Structure 1
Amino acid sequence: MTSRTSRRRPLRTGLAAGLASGTVLAALAVAGCAPSTATDGATSGDGGDAALAEPVVDKDFDLAALIAAAKQEGSVTVYDSTGDIKKVAEAFEAKYGIKTTGVKSDVGDTLEKMTREAQAKNVTIDLTLYENGPTLVGQLLPQKTVYTWIPADLADQVEAKNRNPLMVLSKANVWIYNPQVFPSGCPVDNLWDLTSPEWKGKVTLQDPLGKPNIVEWFNQMSSGYDEELRAAYKAETGEDLTTTEESAAHEWVKRLAKNQPVLTSADDDVSAAVAAPNQTEERIGLVSIAKFRDVKGKNYKMKVCDTLKPYVGYQYPKFAAIATGSTHPNAAKLFVHFVLTEEGITPEMGSGGISGNKSVPPSKNNPPGLTDWDKQLIRFDSAKLLADHRAAQPMQDHWRLNHH
């Protein structure tokens, strides 16, 4: 490219300057200079080659009977990786009068807790809205810790590719920039720009070893988007990509890791580094679209890099899975039914998203610039989740080897 920074003032090198707080400054300063070491245990306890069980669909489904049975059970507990689950739980309880506990929990913690509870036959988590498809398909489902249930009255509204496991919501991670720092628009227009010397030490994202869907994104690019990455490289350089790596994605990941990206433990730190009100540094960051709530809440200055090729980010799925040993199975099923409706999933789409139910309209809160998810974002292929599970550790090792 083509990077617009070449037409602006010289880049400042003080990576920690201008952040929103001393805490973020310290986090970035440490993460930016040390190799990433976090791990989510993504490949422990592999379920092997067992065929994925078919979803349970009640042939004689009766919503009124399910509601009555769920009320008889009296309560339900659901784990999710976002705090929005508390709003969903409140809406469910208000609608059905069933005591509902929504717990925010990292996917790694949820995986460990549900596995241990199943082994101890002491299940307290009735179901989970779960964002790590590879460990769901590679561990929780084949080990029969959880199962997939689809309400028969809504089954036709869920595309076949999203039924096993059951996707209830698609969210997105996107590359952002600060329009106050870059008034002419996103300063990069090609993913390969982020691996260039000009952007060394100025790209920030969560540590891939601590955020499973980033590693999954790397693997999905490797298995399904090689052609697009090679075309983007040629558009950028005028030359075909030459690499000894197994895919264009592996080459891109290697180059990004070697380009001294600033790694954080949370998207909050990334958005602050890029978009905080007092921010003047030239940076690009990868964040969940949920961070766009800070545009109003914290007066952050951020926009989607909507001109970035071949994609401005990736969409990642959230799946519903019911604990096999749940003592509130009907309440858990009713909760799944609820989140497949517009009423139930809307609290999870306050900062954007697309329901797994195709009859539910997309969120009205998707950030400006993100107008066509199918064209602008890489989409994870559920058919490759088990392959992603097996490839997670090798990709983590690939990142770790190259991030110095």
Structure 2
Amino acid sequence: MTRRPLRHTLSLSALAACGLAVTLVGCSSPATSAPADDVDWDALSHEELVEMATEEGEVNAYAFTSRIAAIEESFEAEYPDIDVVASDISSSELITRLATEHTAGSATADVAYVSDAPVVVTELLADGVLLPYVPSRVSDALPTEFQEPLPANRLSTKVLMYNEEAHPDGPPVTNLWELTEDDWSGRVVLVDPNVRGDYLDLATEFSLRADEMATAYADHFGEEIALDDGAPDAGLQFMKDLYANNAVLVDDTDTVNAAVGVTG
């Protein structure tokens, strides 16, 4: 694959951090934190669930990805009497909406498809905003580690991207610390962790690999790293230096991809 050089930019959209990225759960309000009428949902057959859903006629889904539109289309093709009302919003907005609706006692979503697992688990799950649900018909196919504490739809891996047409000879850097130098000032694009909290995983991974980052620093600069105040390890020092080198923070990966270039 090649990418048209719209900008000669290396994008640090993600790197080598892998973890629970997406959670599929049920939503509740304070007034309905227990299943309606104490129904044992696991005991119901697929046909019984479909019958009940058809009587209700609608299911509301909050999702952090535009892929929910394809899910809506395929679901309604299979179950034409059930209307999927899908909302495509960012993960941070989704989390805020779920928490706000829960507090107000007016939960709208039936299902949440959301990333940023650390926030989801420690806040939404812990506060009863979300309830885990694994249909019995799929539980045998889903490994236990991906069922708890909430069912995981997929894992996310962070990677580096660069424009292949702008750099036909291969990756333009061989050491991550190069990105903190003047040549790369304003040319590194990454998703703002304040908008997409799951990108804090990136900083966490750098910190977990602090020894490797310190070795990489010494290899590149020829001296041992000296940490600034507020940077407890080499990984977080790298993030600090990267931001100080005019890293470009954007709201989503679509913007990152456009900055790197389109295929063709």
Partner residue, 1:272? 258
Cα deviations by residue, 1:28-62 (Å, 9 ceiling, x for unpaired): xxxxxxxxxxxxxxxxxxxxxxxxxxxxx965352
1:138 aligned to 2:138? no
Cα deviation, residue 166, structure 1: 1.4
Cα deviation, residue 219, structure 1: 2.4
Cα deviation, residue 260, structure 1: 1.4
CA separation of 1:96/1:231 partners in 2, compared to 1, >3 Å: closer, same or farther?
Answer: farther
> Does the 8 Å contact 1:204/1:270 carry over to 2?
yes
Q: Distance in 2 between matches of 1:66 and 1:140?
A: 26
The one-letter code matched in structure 1 to 2:241 is R
Partner residue, 1:152? 136
Q: Distance in 2 between matches of 1:60 and 1:231?
A: 55
> Does the 8 Å contact 1:86/1:101 carry over to 2?
no
The one-letter code matched in structure 1 to 2:203 is F
Cα deviation, residue 231, structure 1: 4.1
Q: Distance in 2 between matches of 1:82 and 1:59?
A: 28
Q: Distance in 1 between matches of 2:222 and 2:146?
A: 38
CA separation of 1:156/1:226 partners in 2, compared to 1, >3 Å: closer, same or farther?
Answer: farther
Q: Structure 1: any 5+ residue segments left out of the alignment?
A: 1-16, 20-56, 276-293, 300-404
> Does the 8 Å contact 1:140/1:146 carry over to 2?
yes
> Does the 8 Å contact 1:61/1:153 carry over to 2?
no
Cα deviation, residue 209, structure 1: 2.6
Cα deviation, residue 143, structure 1: 1.2
TM-score (norm 2): 0.74
From 83, 86, 94, the counterpart of 1:102: 86
Q: Structure 2: any 5+ residue segments left out of the alignment?
A: 8-39
Q: Secondary structure at the match of 1:201?
A: coil
Cα deviation, residue 255, structure 1: 1.0
The one-letter code matched in structure 2 to 1:138 is T
CA separation of 1:59/1:231 partners in 2, compared to 1, >3 Å: closer, same or farther?
Answer: farther
1:243 aligned to 2:245? no
Identity %: 26
Cα deviation, residue 206, structure 1: 2.8
Cα deviation, residue 87, structure 1: 0.8
The one-letter code matched in structure 2 to 1:214 is Y
Q: How does 1:122-137 map to 2 (within 5 A)?
A: 122-137=106-121
The one-letter code matched in structure 2 to 1:264 is V
Tell me the number of residue pairs that the alignment of Structure 1 and Structure 2 aligns: 224
1:72 aligned to 2:60? no
Q: Distance in 2 between matches of 1:61 and 1:134?
A: 31
> Does the 8 Å contact 1:61/1:151 carry over to 2?
no
Cα deviations by residue, 1:338-396 (Å, 9 ceiling, x for unpaired): xxxxxxxxxxxxxxxxxxxxxxxxxxxxxxxxxxxxxxxxxxxxxxxxxxxxxxxxxxx
Q: Distance in 1 between matches of 2:98 and 2:91?
A: 10
The one-letter code matched in structure 2 to 1:247 is D
TM-score (norm 1): 0.50
From 152, 155, 159, the counterpart of 1:167: 152
Partner residue, 1:334? none
Cα deviation, residue 105, structure 1: 0.7
What is the CA RMSD across the aligned residues, in angstroms? Answer: 2.6
1:232 aligned to 2:227? no
Q: Distance in 2 between matches of 1:66 and 1:198?
A: 59
CA separation of 1:177/1:120 partners in 2, compared to 1, >3 Å: closer, same or farther?
Answer: same
Partner residue, 1:63? 46
Q: Spell out structure 1 runs of 4+ moving beyond 6 A.
A: none
Q: Secondary structure at the match of 1:83?
A: coil
Cα deviations by residue, 1:281-331 (Å, 9 ceiling, x for unpaired): xxxxxxxxxxxxx52xxx4xxxxxxxxxxxxxxxxxxxxxxxxxxxxxxxx
Cα deviation, residue 126, structure 1: 1.1
Q: Distance in 1 between matches of 2:139 and 2:214?
A: 38
Q: Distance in 2 between matches of 1:254 and 1:165?
A: 33
Q: Secondary structure at the match of 1:111?
A: helix
> Does the 8 Å contact 2:62/2:87 carry over to 1?
yes
Cα deviation, residue 99, structure 1: 0.8
Partner residue, 1:113? 97
Partner residue, 1:185? 170
Q: Distance in 2 between matches of 1:237 and 1:112?
A: 43
Partner residue, 1:260? 246
CA separation of 1:202/1:152 partners in 2, compared to 1, >3 Å: closer, same or farther?
Answer: same
From 180, 183, 196, the counterpart of 1:198: 183
> Does the 8 Å contact 1:226/1:248 carry over to 2?
yes
Q: Of the two structures, which has the highest relative contact order with CA contacts closer than 8 Å and spacing of 6 or more?
A: 2
Cα deviations by residue, 1:267-287 (Å, 9 ceiling, x for unpaired): 343333332xxxxxxxxxxxx
> Does the 8 Å contact 2:59/2:84 carry over to 1?
yes
The one-letter code matched in structure 2 to 1:243 is L
